[in-house]
Structure 1
Amino acid sequence: MKKVVAISSIGGHWIQLLRLKPVFEDVQMVFITTKASFKSMVSESDTFYVIPDGNRTDKIGLLKAIKTLFVIYRKEKPDVIITTGAAPGLMGICVGKLLGIHTIWLDSIANCEELSMSGRIAKKIANTVYTQWEHLATNNVKYKGNVLK
């Protein structure tokens, strides 16, 4: 059975990530976020991890998250990593790429005029990048619809 890591920060990124769950009915799911109480939002059959939070102004938090992600990925051995962002998701695909894991970035629907800052970075790292806005699609950024309707 395939194993998918789904990782994001809290808030809208997490809600969008959860909306993808029906796509992964036949895989083993591993959810990663920065808030322990979000475990109640995933099924008991899913694996759940909390990583330290960090962002561009909290580089120590990012380094702690990266270290934790290496440990989780080595333990779980996922086939695919998918994220809706932001910084935790970007760190997640960076670590995944270093370990040779297929990575997917789904840019937030909130970014309707251009890709998010993290999305612009992810475009250079992730194996596949999706936008939720058709007019933002390019040769290397795909559009297949949005997850919030």
Structure 2
Amino acid sequence: MDKRVLLICSGGGHLVQMQRIAVAARTTGTLTLATVAAEQELKGDVYDAVVSLPDFNRQSPFAALMGIPKVFFKVIFLRPTHIISTGAAPGIIGIIAGRFVGARTLWIDSIANTRRLSVSGRIALRVSHQVFTQWPSLADGHKVLYSGRII
């Protein structure tokens, strides 16, 4: 079976980190980027498709109420075999949805979180198959692993 890898992230630094991961995530299957900043120029040799996600966070409850089902059903529709997220709220919702379709999931907490995992990262500890941090001091060697920095 071909791999269908879905990369999910918010914009800004999350997207920059994901673009660096995308080159390594390239497989013999398909590679789709789902981001809140889905400009057409992101599509190219690395991605087979780029899809747009709504942007939301815990400070925008109405946007979250509207965005959560959109992200959830987009993942269900795409039916990825693997999901990688570098973070923020759309990423954790995507990972949760991915578990419903049997996807293997990987959360990489943002490099901006130097003292503790992000809120989404702490949720990922419960729902993702694997969680990575970009700070050695946050790794525990079991649930949270450190393997280097993306940026």
TM-score (norm 1): 0.88
1:55 equivalent among 46, 53, 57: 57
**Cα contact 1:66–1:95 (8 A) shared by 2:** no
Question: Which residue in the other structure is 1:17 paired with?
Answer: 18
**Cα contact 1:62–1:91 (8 A) shared by 2:** no
Segment of structure 1 superposing worse, 43-52 or 77-86 = 43-52
Residue type at the aligned position of 2:145:
K
Residue type at the aligned position of 2:20:
R
User: Structure 1 unaligned runs (5+)?
Assistant: none
Alignment of 1:43-122 (within 5 A): 43=44, 45-122=47-124
In structure 2, C-alpha distance between the alignment counterparts of 1:86 and 1:74, rounded to whole Å: 19
TM-score (norm 2): 0.87
Question: Which residue in the other structure is 1:3 paired with?
Answer: 4
User: Structure 2 unaligned runs (5+)?
Assistant: none
Q: Aligned pairs, how many?
A: 147
Pairing 1:40–2:44 present = no
Q: CA RMSD in A?
A: 1.7
Instruction: Give the ranges of 4+ consecutive aligned residues of structure 1 lying more than 6 Å apart after TM superposition.
Output: none
Please give the per-residue CA displacement for 1:62-92, whole angstroms capped at 9, x wherever unaligned.
2333322333223321011110111111111
Segment of structure 1 superposing worse, 59-68 or 104-113 = 59-68
2:126 equivalent among 102, 124, 127: 124
Identity across matched positions, percent = 37
1:143 equivalent among 133, 143, 146: 146
Q: CA deviation at 1:114?
A: 1.5
SS in structure 2 at match of 1:20: helix
SS in structure 2 at match of 1:114: coil
